[in-house]
Structure 1
């Protein structure tokens, strides 16, 4: 796992290369946290190509695996300071790469058979990927790869630069133009936007995108392909972008080519379901065990996150079964019982025989980290579990360099309440005439027990009896927004969004109009038989989450939180073979009797006693409302002071101050409630903005 950055601009033969190498060095330093084991950079004046890399050495930590890496006359040449690579053939191909290809030795054997490639110089997957791109082309190379990756590949034969991102979006890659005319224009690319910000021509905070900021307040993150900056983009998962020097001169970019589509495979899987449930369970166990075993490939110590939930517990169980020694597991605890699964995690670790380490999250931890989130995240980001995720990563990094996680289980196997109950609720309210729903929503907005009772009588039959009161009271605000939805996609937004009306100032937000941007749904889903609307609403929501919420929130959170401490996190549940099989499962193995992840709980029961499997999920969260009203209150009030909110003219000061007063008066003790999440989003934007103005 590493960091990459670079640019493609006008060729500068004969010019002094130092200004360009200085830029590369500055861009590379911004992502040094991603790779503390080494750094390399190369500028090729005849091409106008600069490549830089920071290395976290996992496979073959010797200098033979250093990057940037060139393929010269069929042989891989790792770059190192003082090397003569810059003067090699102009037809050399180059790569800078972030990720892990778990089957790279299988790919090597194929290359030896099919392309007669011999004489490997390293044991690292970088050399394998470089050779595969040169021999087969980038699309065939990535289609053959099992793993996670983002890379930039310069093809010396075709004189093109290709940016690539893995199928599910585990590894990030951003890009965009700087420079106003053909003689100055350059394409920048990097693992993190913070690296692009180091380029002297980067436009900075004056170039914030109002629509992207509205998306942030809606979703708590900026969905791909947008970034917070106008004119800069995130490469979507499963995509390639091939650029010619002519494209850079003209300032135009082709559309990314989607080589892998979750939307298409969802439609294909649902059209070809597995019929036999017992066979499906066995197939899934084999696929998961294979995915876990593949992710044990490493030349450095490994461990696993163990929260106590179904997903991480199953990953830890399969990891321990594949290991001949106790594996290291890590968890965080909380002084608030409603957010603390550490006792359950410890019991699971004892049963599995892992070497377990536990650390509680305290208010002091939150206070120390909250303001630092603006530095750790390259865009505004407001998933409050970013704090425990960073802390457990920091804990694990003291013992191992690689951790396996259980991320992806909720999105693949129907683990969210919206998957379970959203379709039933929509069936009840969708048929009610919209004017009636609008009146009911207005009554509900004014509050009062009578309004809640009316809405409850409408919604409650769609919820399981034992959870009706709790779920309805916690989700009343989302129910009110849902009543105003014109269709089921808008209803999904109502269930998932933070701010229904992003708190942008009238002047800055004038270029944005509701409805606010949806999670990315690609053409593949629309092209399924009958179109997207032919899909069951629960399936549609799972596809939407896999296309948007998963890569843009969950995986972005894990990548930034872990790479800030140079920890590589591997996610076996998001092995593409597991994802494809999940879409073929009978629905009863995903969601059944008001519970999601049926098949995962079935498999976990093969490793743990039933009392540990059946304990209710508490979530990897924090008591956000209590923290904001308590130990974090001085910091929050500093972030929300009118002078601070009004200093940049971007936000609606009155709306935010009103929401803060509402949170202070709120008696909801559930820990993470709607006002708390909205105020957290404002604070995260303020922290991100303040970090950039202080540079």
Structure 2
């Protein structure tokens, strides 16, 4: 795993190339390398994973006409290498980067990209064609940002390396609104004007003048439409194929020349991945989890149960929420732009602990999006049930909820009930935007933001949902695979691990497995309220029976309590009338209203206040 930076720009000095690249040192602490041939510059920071002795970058083709900087792993590089050897091509390293160069030279950019299975962001300079290619992987596991100014075109693995090449005070209205809707900013947008994330499955073709064109090489929407004609009908056939594909994916992702382990939360997905690793390994695998001193947030017993069942070398780290408080600022700062998924904080903690023992981990992420693991996927089911009750009864029930206070005991149940009631009267499109937007609704956002900063973000969110044929369920799964994975889940995992120089691999994101999931009927994934049905049925023999019946927990942190105690003073200071009015972005009266309701336990506004807290911390540092 590495960090890359580069440009096609006039007037740049090698010192600037080195300075910008070295801002990515946490992504690549082991080595650095630079290529400069005006107007092209490429920089690389390396975290050594495969071919430790001869995988230095930038890497050149044998004739020196090609040079590449590469971040990630090509999991099927040995298969591609064998195919290239059959064409008579000889190799001098064991690196997947050399395979990538030779594949491009043999087949060109498009056919080369069609063959790749992996997580990656890379840039390749072709001296003969005088073109710079900048590529991001199929689903957006690895980040890639770019911008253009009067000097030319610039790209980097993280925003911090692009500082100085764009105007930081020019905040994007679209990025701002997406953040307060979704809690994150999906590609191609960022919080800055004229700075973009390269979309998953796309590459840029850049000229020596810094002009560029974005081209799509992997289209999940197209594949999903094609797969609707190839739907799997027999449940047992689907189970067999799922088992084969996940075993194969895990095996490919276990290739490493450095110590390797897995995150084991004790939930279904990480337990399945860890169990498969144990089956494939000749030695006990290393597993890692964190537990909390506060029992209501602790699920370490779940992880311990699985670890004993599969015989892993398990490391459990018990932390208190005071430990998490210590890394709040460090975590939020590393994202370079507002990122409101609070589970990033405990994710960073477990990554920090795992790095003490290994350099690579496998995770159970992304199974929820593919196989129906979230409560929101039951939105239509519960809405239909609720709508069957008489209208007067529904009205009385809704009014009665206003008198139930939000406390530690009632909070979770109340939030779920209110979501069901709210979504019951919505269209499929409205329900998707409502359940996907974990921050502010459009109405609330109009009350929060000054008119000149308001923009309706639902149109952007719905371009994913409306772009696929099929029923509401299919539209939801497809949209989440395109929107939520890239913008939230994969961003969180990448940053939490890379700040600790740890590589994370996601077996559920093998393209063959993703495409397989689009061929499954909805009832294979969710049967009534039984979520991830096929996943549980397929792998029930590998994990303890109790694991399959555990309710989903996730990495919870006590934001509500923090805002009433340890973080209360800082929250009030960040949202003070003087600061808000000077800033000129928000309506103070609305902020005062939700603060008062929260502190009086009238409503639980933790998530909304957390977004404001995160944004203000970012704004204070960068703007």
- Measured against the shorter chain, the TM-score band is over 0.9
| Closer/same/farther in 2, CA of residues 644 and 479 from structure 1, 3 Å limit | farther
C-alpha distance in 1 between matches for 2:388 and 2:616: 38
Contact in 2 for aligned 1:340/1:618 (Cα 8 Å): no
* Secondary structure in 2 matching 1:356: strand
Aligned-partner Cα distance in 2 for 1:423–1:54: 49
User: What secondary structure is seen at the aligned counterpart in 2 of 1:274?
Assistant: coil
> 2:478 aligns to what?
543
The Cα shift of 1:448 comes to 4.3
Partner of 2:429: 489
**Alignment correspondent of 1:342:** 300
> What residue in structure 2 maps to residue 202 of structure 1?
166
Using the TM superposition, name which of 299-308 and 603-612 deviates more.
Answer: 603-612
1:66 aligns with 2:39: no
Deviates more, 1:418-427 or 1:562-571: 418-427
Identify which of 159, 165, 168 aligns with 2:139: 168
Aligned counterparts, 1:255-654, within 5 A: 256-422=214-380, 425=383, 448-449=399-400, 473-479=414-420, 482=423, 485=426, 487-497=427-437, 498-501=439-442, 503=445, 509-510=451-452, 512-514=454-456, 516-519=458-461, 521=463, 526=467, 532=468, 534-654=469-589
Counterparts of 2:105 and 2:388, CA distance in 1: 54
**Native 8 Å contact 1:100 1:148 kept in 2:** yes
Per-residue Cα deviation, 1:430-483 (whole angstroms, up to 9, x for no partner) = 999xxx99xx99x99xx8417799xxxxxxxxxxxxxxx998622355456536
Of residues 160, 177, 189 in structure 1, which corresponds to 2:155?
A: 189
Distance 2:23 2:66 in 1: 26
Shift of 1:551: 1.0
- SS of 1:94 mapped into structure 2: strand
How far did 1:154 drift? 1.3
SS of 2:148's partner is strand
Cα–Cα, structure 1 residues 515 and 482, in superposed 2: closer, same or farther, change >3 Å?
Answer: farther
Paired position in structure 2 for 1:36: 29
8 A Cα contact 1:223 1:520, kept in partner: no
Deviation of 1:377 (Å): 0.6
Distance 2:565 2:318 in 1: 18
CA distance in 1, matches of 2:451, 2:212: 27
User: Cα 1:349–1:3, aligned 2, differ >3 Å: closer, same or farther?
Assistant: same
Q: Contact conserved, 1:240 with 1:257, CA < 8 A, in 2?
A: yes
Deviation, 1:345, is 0.5
- C-alpha contact (below 8 Å) 2:383/2:420 kept by paired residues: no
Once the two structures are TM-superposed, the CA of residue 536 in structure 1 deviates from its matched residue by 1.5
Q: 2:20 is matched with which residue: 9, 27, 36?
A: 27
* Residues 493 and 518 in structure 1, CA contact (< 8 A), matched pair in contact too: no
Alpha-carbon distance in 1 for matches of 2:449, 2:561: 34
Q: Which runs of 5+ in 2 are unaligned?
A: 405-409
Q: 1:169 to 1:337 in 2, by over 3 A?
A: same
Task: Give the aligned partner of residue 89 of structure 2.
Answer: 117
SS of the residue 2:120 aligns to: strand
The whole-number CA distance in structure 2 between the counterparts of 1:471 and 1:345 is 23
Following superposition, the deviation at residue 31 of structure 1 comes to 1.1
Deviation, 1:398, is 0.6
Contact 2:133 2:203 in 1 (8 A): yes
Greater Cα shift, 567-576 or 148-157: 148-157
Number of the residue aligned with 1:683? 613
**Matched-pair contact (CA < 8 Å) for 2:185–2:487:** yes
CA distance in 2 between partners of 1:633 and 1:493 (Å): 31
CA gap of 1:365–1:518, structure 2 versus 1, over 3 A, is farther
- Which residue number in structure 2 is paired with residue 83 of structure 1? none
Shift of residue 427, structure 1, vs aligned partner: 8.6
What is the number of residues matched between the two proteins?
615
* Residues in 2 aligned to 1:203 and 1:414: alpha-carbon distance in whole angstroms: 41
Per the alignment, residue 80 of structure 1 pairs with none
Which digits, 9 at most, give the CA deviation of each residue in 1:299-323, with x for residues without a partner? Answer: 0000000001000000000011000
CA displacement, residues 124-153 of structure 1 (integer Å, 9 cap, x when unaligned): 111111121122112211211121111111
- Taking a change above 3 Å as real, the CA distance of residues 509 and 100 of structure 1, as seen in their structure-2 partners, is farther
- SS of the residue corresponding to residue 225 of structure 2 reads helix
Q: 1:509 to 1:208 in 2, by over 3 A?
A: farther
